[in-house]
Structure formats: C-alpha cells, structure tokens
Amino acid sequence: MRHVKGKTVVITGASKGIGAASARVLAGLGARVVLAARSGDALLALAEETGGIAAPCDVSDFAQVQAVMERAGDVDVLVNNAGLIDPIALLADSDPTAWGRVVDVNIKGVYHGLRAVLPGMVARGSGTVINISSGAATSALEGWSHYCATKAAVLSLTRVADNEVRGSGVRVMGLSPGTVATDMQREIAASGINPVSQLSWDAHIPPDWVGQAIAVLMGPEGNAWCGQDFSLKTEAGRNIVGLPPL
C-alpha cells in the first residue's frame, strides 16, 4: 500500500459512514485526506483524528465543490462518495422536490467533483477518481426509483469520463460496495420497502472494508476497472482486496 502514502485524497460524504471510515483507513496508510460534507463539526473532529483537512461543502453546489478542490491543492484522488437514499417511497407516493434533491446530490454532486478535478488531473497527466456506485445502478428495486436512476447515471458518468480521459494518465472507475453497515442501511431498514430493508444487520459489511478497497484501487490494481464498477459483492472483488469470502 505504499502507493497511498503522501497522496492528497479528497473524500466527499466524509462526515460519517463509508466516507469517514475510508478517511481513517487512507490516513492510516499515510494519505493526506481532505474531508468534504455538510456537517462541519463532524469533519473537524475527524480532521483532528486523521491529521486531515475539514472542508465543509454541499456537493450539489459547484462553487462549493470547486472551493474544496482549490483548498486541497493538487488532488491525486477524488472519492465521489456523498449520496442520499432518503426518502424511500414508491413512485406514485414520491415527493417531487425530495426526488430532485437526490438527483442534485447523487448525480450532480458526482459531476461537480469530476468537473472540478479533471482539468488539473489531465494537465498533470495523473490522478484517479473513484465514484461510489451501487448494485442499484443495474437493478430495479421498488421504492428506490430516485436511487436506482441516480446510481445508473453515476455509472454512466464513470463510463463517459473514462472514455474522455483514457490515455491521459487519469483513471476514472466506480466502486460498488454491496450493503454496508451505515446510517443509510438504517434508513433502508426503517422504510420496510423491498427485500434490502429485510436484511439482517449481520449481512452488511463494515465501512472500513470499502476504505481498504479504495486503497487497493488507488494502486495499479485499479487499472483494470477504469470505466466500470468494481464490486465487493463478487468473490474476485473480495479476493483482490484481501477480504473474507462472501
């Protein structure tokens, strides 16, 4: 994991869950982590713990995302992790404003990150963007129209970005973690809608496993996953990261 040491890694959605756990893993391997989310107090506490930088921002606002990247300096790795699933509702019951808010965060947030870092990465001829995806990108689950549609769009952004930068030294890939023990799974369980809400808590992987996968993808192993989603729900994916089998 020597490839992680000294790298500047911007992580969105770093105030809790997968983002916070990944920040701890990467900082532990020597990365300089830049922590972005809306909850400033949580970011400050994590920055103190990890030696990182708290950079409060709402990813749905491009100017705020760009300000984070300017503060970070030359970004080696961007982890586009911020995401929402709440509120879960059948299409017929869904609230149009809340549905649109998920689009603003899950799709536009990822676009804003790509738009902010790609010019510098391409100019330097190096950099990695990891978009946190989901099995929902390629499946249809009731109550998750906002989530399935936005994660499908994120996979599309991963493909298009890879198409545009391939050969420049910049890599763009997705990471589909499977189900992870975070507040998002608490929201899913509370909804009682669709089979994912019925899973037992033991079925979910710990969030630091996703951080370990990010660390691996930052290195040469990531080359094979440009333009597609790497998945921790496969034996091959678990094996590459050195995690227990499914």
82 vs 157, beta carbon nearer ligand NJP: 82
Gyration radius of the chain over CA positions: 17
**Crossing angle of the two packed helices 40-50 and 17-28, in degrees rounded to 10:** 20
Cα–Cα distance measured from residue 173 to residue 162, given in angstroms and rounded to the nearest whole number: 7
Q: Hunting for tokens 């599309």 — which residue is that?
A: 156
What is the secondary structure of 3-39 as a DSSP string? GGTT-EEEEESTTSHHHHHHHHHHHHTT-EEEEESS-
- Annotated catalytic residue 147: yes
128 vs 133, beta carbon nearer ligand NJP: 133
49 near ligand NJP, judged by CB under 6 A: no
179 near ligand NJP, judged by CB under 6 A: yes
182 near ligand NJP, judged by CB under 6 A: yes
Site for ligand NJP in 117-146 (CB under 6 A): 132, 134-135
Eight-class DSSP state of 78: E
Q: Please, what's the largest Cα pairwise distance for the chain?
A: 50
Catalytic residue, from 7, 68, 84, 147: name it. Answer: 147
Question: Stretches 3-11, 67-75, 81-89, 211-219: which one binds ligand NJP (CB under 6 A)?
Answer: 81-89
Instruction: Write down the least CB distance from residue 210 to ligand NJP, Å.
Output: 7
Helix (H, G, I), strand (E, B) or coil at 115: helix
82 near ligand NJP, judged by CB under 6 A: yes
Q: Footprint of ligand NJP on this chain (CB under 6 A)?
A: 12-19, 37-39, 58-60, 81-84, 105, 132, 134-135, 176-177, 179-180, 182-185
